Amino acid sequence: MVRMTTLAIATIALGSVNAMAQDVAVITPYLAQPGTQFYVDGFTARAQELGWDVNVIDTAGDVAAVISRIEDMVTQGVDAIVINVDPAQVGAGLQAAADAGIPVVGMDAGSDPLVAANITSNGYAMAAETAVYVANRIGGQGNVIMFTFDPFPPVQVRGVIADAIFGNFPDITVLDRITPDVSDGGIADSRAAMEAILAANPEPGSIAAVWAAWDQPALGALQAIEAAGRADEGIVITGIDANPQARDAIAQGGNFEASVAQDFVGIGTTAADTVARLLAGEPVVQRVIYVPTRLVTIANAE
């Protein structure tokens, strides 16, 4: 009798998937975001290793259009669909895929009964880490500006956790909670919003920190603070994602002090491996799969 290890079985299964030359669609309205670009790069690189044909579809900020694009892919008979969008907003498309027997995997999306698995970072942990960083840096007191984005579940949960942490410090006041326009990534609108806040609060020390649920608003706020000549007030800025532009800003030792590095390529790669398992007929029991993260400060921004 020949015994086979789990690894050997998995390797054979993935090899079988490779041999079948699968057609997989990746659909997102957020390709303008650097993080999403890295997810997609990681996914397509792994898919290439598996011999798949991948169709990346960007609806350029139009969430509703994702539904019709999913339906288009169902009509074309793709083997699997990967989404980077709130599943609750594209239910009709997910149902069409389910009816056709096409598995859907989330790549930093949200959880849904019609999504086989969601591959993401632990947004709760990331938000807690940066919000506590802010609270400690400002000594548990002062006015904080928050940049959030509730329409997208992975980002929405970050705001919920940050709210809870700041609420646990009686001398911290959330002065404003801003949802920027993300059609261009979010930097420009965040800068404009921060400029207005600075103008309304001109006294030095009136703003202690800016907590952003991702890096683009943090970078926009940084630009506004520097342009207003208020960088020397010690306003602490944190983001999440640690994209290259954010890392550069943190490494300079200015107001932007910390972010959390997500393993974007790892998320994309894990999403592809999860699709491979589904196409090989392997059950996926874990509906949310977290990929590890790391706090980035001036100490390790390089």
CATH 3.40.50.2300 in the chain is located at 6-121+264-291, 123-262
Residue-wise pLDDT tens digits, 34-75? 889 999 999 999 999 999 999 999 999 999 999 999 999 999
Residue-wise pLDDT tens digits, 144-165? 999 999 988 889 999 999 999 9
123-262: CATH, from 3.40.50.920, 3.40.190.10, 3.30.390.50, 3.40.50.2300: 3.40.50.2300
Output the pLDDT for position 18: 46
Cα gap 139→9, rounded to integer Å = 54
Output the pLDDT for position 110: 85
Would you identify the CATH topology of the domain 6-121+264-291?
Answer: Rossmann fold (3.40.50)
Is residue 167's pLDDT more than 80? yes
Q: For the residues of 217-231, what is the DSSP string, one character each?
A: HHHHHHHHHHHTT-G
Give 302 or 181, the one with higher predicted confidence.
181
Instruction: Classify residue 219 by burial, with Cβ atoms within 10 Å: 0-12, 13-18, 19+.
Output: buried
Can you say whether the dihedral through the CA atoms of 58, 61, 63, 64 is positive or negative? Answer: negative
Output the pLDDT for position 154: 84
Output the pLDDT for position 10: 43
Output the pLDDT for position 151: 86
This prediction's pTM: 0.79
Average pLDDT taken over every residue of the chain: 92
Output the pLDDT for position 20: 57
Output the pLDDT for position 1: 36
